[in-house]
Chain A
Amino acid sequence: MNARRLKRFVALWWLPVALVAGWWFLSLGRDSFYFPSLQKILAVLWRDLTTGNLLAWLGISLGNMAAGLAIAIVAGTLIGLLIGEFEGLRRAATPTLNFLRSIPPAAIVPLVIVAMGIGSAPKIFIIALACFWPVLLNTIDGVRGIPPQLRDTVKAFRIPLALRFRRVLVMAALPQIMAGIRIAIAVALVLMVISEFFGASVGVGFYINEAKQRFAMPETWAGTVLIGILGYVLSALFLRLERWLLAWYFQDSRTQGDEGA
């Protein structure tokens, strides 16, 4: 690692490292019931991941989240492309969409659990429903924001409908679609946890809630810390994916404005 990269690394990481270290040392040895030491929290987390059910439950939770997100991304993108492209459809759908998306997803959790019972299906459904909106709305915006020049080009060269969707609209809207997915991932994480608070017998959310009911505070904290780490890792991974998928976009906007030869 050369000096410049080291400098960047330090600039990026000193604060989180300091916060964790502060937490670690300030809580060390002071075992209050509600605020166990970080050392204890991590020890419990490690114990339950390696010897308990937590790792398997994490897998189940992540599986639900992935399934819900996948459904939301596919449905949100497809429907968003259609609504964004066809004005008539947009006009017809807008009032309904505005009503539906103003219902907080968490509010329908009890309803869905009652209707669909326990197991993975209601959780996947809830995650998919909540994540559908940011993907849908961003896709619509992305399609509507396509520059008129590009539309003229597509029209002038008589690009057929299916090809237009596949190679122009999706790509032109991709930066916005990815922004929608980024929001959806955060939403999915929230609903993954909340959906496991009710009518669940497995999952990280269940782990947290069940520990809370036993007043097992280190476990409750351990589950919460695990979700925090998970959220961070997911968003970091997604950022990488985005940089890779949209390399053309970042390059293109960086050189925007360089005119002439």
Chain B
Amino acid sequence: MTNSHPVSGSPDKEPATEPALAEAAGADRATTMTAPRRPEEPRPSLGRLFLDNLWAANTVTVTVLSLLLAMLIGAILIIVSDPEVLATYGYLTARPADAVTSSWAVVSEAYANLFKGAVFDPEASGFTAALSPISETLTYTAPLVFTGLSVALAFRGGLFNIGAQGQATIGVILAAVAGFALPLPPVVHLLVALLAGAVGGAVWGFVPGILKARAGAHEVINTIMLNYVAVYFLSWIIVQSGVQSPGRADAISKPVDPSAQLPRLLGDNLRVHAGILLAVLATWFVAWLLNRSTLGFELRAVGANPDAARTAGISITKTYVLVMVIAGVLAGLGGSQMVLGTTATALTPLVVAQIGFDGILVALLGRVKPWGVLLAALLFGALQAGGNRMQSYSGISLELVTVLQALIVIFIAAPALVKAIFQLRAARAARLQTSLAKGW
């Protein structure tokens, strides 16, 4: 919520146990409130605080350990799915070294390729090759930031937006149509196409928003249903004349004009495009909206306690509708990038991939905080980019990446589990859990 860290900067201070709180309240009673802060025990050094918090179950620690646990399980899956390595376990008792070395070889090679594909390849020579992994990662990251923000924003407003996928789908359709049907000059064309994508998402967010606000229809059900409508609308519109690419029999639309495409950032050989800049801008905007705007205040109040918000004169109807419209705009922009960026230039039935659903995971992994979402999207983007290389170099199926993503989120959603496995000191874990369990 707000930057509610006490001056001492120790996150451990806030979630005190009940008796401690009572004691603190009692202690405060003794001092007058005019004194800014009562004298405290000498402040521990920054290094000490860091060490103390490292093993406490705080957000970062839990996230890193979840990643580790997921990779551990992933390693087991890699071993099990490789028949040659599995064969060495057949004579484990006779020559255990075989099993260990072959397992290590296959797992380390897989993860090395994951890293090389996502971050940096030390063997790469030349500017383009060295930057290629990062470029790939950012290309995958950009749309995920948008859909992640869409889900996170709705979540803070008390709504579970499962519909980012549908909103992104309608967004991509409108953006693509605007991109190839309107003859406009370069910069204007891109802006119009993005706007079209945003409007598409907004409409698809507005519908469940108004249904929730006026009729009390549950947004989870409505957004899921609208996802289907959007997906089949996409399959239908691709093959309509005027949309379908002339001379093609399969489901593919005309390509978006170059004038409507997002500019590439690092030359023609690298895929990273201006979408990632928009993503950072959007993150900043959502962070401002949530914490520094009156609308964000209403949204958080409605999300946390609709009754109190209503009693304080905040219109719940208006807030729900606005939240869903803004969430839709974000998802729609994310979808637009799938044709305006470098991933594809034409509509196909699978053009939006899974960005809407991945957005839910990104939002949860990012603890429904804007900058957290950006980091989570970066991780997911890196896993995707690295997964591609892992598949082509190590022959490990890309689905392993999906499994890793799912496992990470499961561990994040069950901080108690991570805590128990690593025997962490209890700190903020309980809070995490409630923050994720709430939307229902």
**Chain B binds chain A:** no
